[in-house]
Amino acid sequence: MLEVKDLNAFYGPVQVLHGVNLSVAASEIVALVGANAAGKSTLMFTLAGLRTTHTGSILLDGEPIGDFPAYERVPRGLVLVPERRRLFPFMNVIENLEIGAYSAAARPVARDTLDEVFQLLPVLAERRKQVAGSLSGGEQQMLAIGRALMAKPRVLLLDEPTEGLAPIYVKLLFDLIVNLRRSGLTVLIVEQNVHHVLRTADRAYVLENGRIVLQGQGESLLKDERLKVAYLGL
């Protein structure tokens, strides 16, 4: 469904990703793990069409989308939930959600999608009139995901969705991801919470200094000595 071939990504003259190859099949949950500054967010931004320049190809259902601007990737179903949420703090929950449905395809069905999002994330329904800035961290993360769902994604890119969350929210979030996949969504997720994410993901890639150095099934990677040494501190 999503295929990345020989991707190099740059901030101006600075190259951060080097020859990255990666694929995500339909309805798969794929994890991307790696140390701080490995280039995980850079890969997510590059997939979403933000910030970087790149060479190499990004294919969505076989269609090269790497030269499309960000706003043309969203209607095709590729939607990023960036690190640290980036909500509109002075707007309320409903207003933040409505912004997610800006694309021509998502707008006409926004009412129905809103009902679906409220069903999936009841905490948002309860707090629909509250301004986003006064939500708890966990609630804000749910809102960020809810807003992305309003865009009717087919592939959801999640960059550290559990960052700063209490264990109860971490569990809620992983449950939500599994639910979303059950409803047909494809997920690429960056996580520092390596144990949890490798147990949830079908497959995972390990990024080190902008290069994929390991890949495999989630559970079996957990047992990989190299991963243990580098990321789990064992």
Residues that bind ligand ATP (CB under 6 A): 11, 14, 16, 34, 36-42
Q: Which of ligand ATP, Mg ion, none lies near 77, with the C-beta cut-off 5 to 8 A by kind?
A: none
Q: Which two tokens stand for residue 62?
A: 């076989």
Partner from Mg ion, ligand ATP, none contacting 153, C-beta within 5 to 8 A by type: none
Per DSSP, which regions of the chain are E strands? Answer: 2-11, 14-24, 29-33, 53-60, 63-64, 78-81, 155-159, 186-190, 203-208, 211-217
End-to-end CA distance of the chain: 35
183 binds, among Mg ion, ligand ATP, none (CB under 5 to 8 A by kind): none
Q: What's phi and psi for 24, nearest 5 deg?
A: -130, 120
Residue 42 as a binder of Mg ion (CB under 5 A): the answer is: no
Is 193 among the residues that bind Mg ion (CB under 5 A)? no
Q: Count Cβ atoms below 10 Å from residue 3 Cβ, excluding itself.
A: 16
Q: Measured between alpha carbons, how far is 157 from 160 in angstroms, rounded to an integer? A: 10
Q: Counting contacts by CB under 5 A, is residue 46 touching Mg ion?
A: no
Name the minimum Å distance from CB 48 to ligand ATP: 13
**Is residue 41 part of the contact set for Mg ion (CB under 5 A)?**
yes
Question: Shortest approach of ligand ATP to residue 234 CB, angstroms?
Answer: 20
User: Rg of the chain's alpha carbons, rounded to an integer?
Assistant: 17
Interface with Mg ion in residues 65-104 (CB under 5 A): none
- Which residue blocks in 101-224 are alpha helix, DSSP H? 110-120, 122-126, 137-150, 167-182, 194-200, 218-222
Shortest Cβ distance from residue 47 to Mg ion (Å)?
13
Residue placing its CB nearer to ligand ATP in the complex, 117 or 156: 156
Residue nearest to Mg ion (CB): 41
Which residues form the interface with Mg ion (CB under 5 A)? 40-41
